Structure 1
Amino acid sequence: MKSFETLVLASITSGTDLSAAYPSLHEAVEHVLGHLIWRHEYAASRKVAADLILARYPDLPTDPIAEVCAAQAALLERLGPELTMPMGNTVRSASPLETLRDIYITKGVRLTSRADEITR
């Protein structure tokens, strides 16, 4: 058993981001499903996790949250559908391949495929 913030679970069941914490949502979906998921699998996995969460907590919302929708509508009315931003001028500290190497090699994380795990 693992505790999760109510708003994280409600975000999963309603499909409305109430927690503004994607890592917490991802962690909760993985925990509820009992296996790791990749980012591109999140949308489909969230739907399965929502059903499992609702089986345990049927009072959690299943539809988009009205207050959030109202807040979004107010922002769109006040600021319009688009805002402009100047192009940033920050400089990367390392290339994407270097940062990938840093994450997976320098920190000692070993990449394995699911097939490797099954055949062991």
Structure 2
Amino acid sequence: MAAPRIDFIELPASGTLEMQRFYGTAFGWDFTAFGPSYACTMTGDVDVGFQADPTEKTQAILPAIRVDDLDAVLAEVEQAGGSITKPVFDFPGGRRFHFLDPAGNELAAYQGE
């Protein structure tokens, strides 16, 4: 079992094409689009996603922690005093949930397929 770690960062965006052009030009990153409002790098290291759907995007950068057992981590986050802001849901590549830590930072925990 791998130790949980932040390996994905999601940025709120007004449009994914603009973000892809900027980061592609500035840093040479390649992106995979998942519809008109979401795109991300898929290097397998620390990847970056752009969320442009106004009903889905967060107000700030959303760090995502990869875990082996999402349901167990959900219970642990709640037991530790975290507040769930978005219950477990499916996305292309796995399942995740969002939560607030005691300082009010929003993060996601996710389990890949």
| TM-score bin, normalised by smaller chain | under 0.3
The TM-score, its normalising length taken from structure 2, stands at 0.22
> Which protein has the larger Cα radius of gyration, Structure 1 or Structure 2?
1
TM-score (norm 1): 0.21
Higher relative contact order (CA 8 A, sep 6+): 2
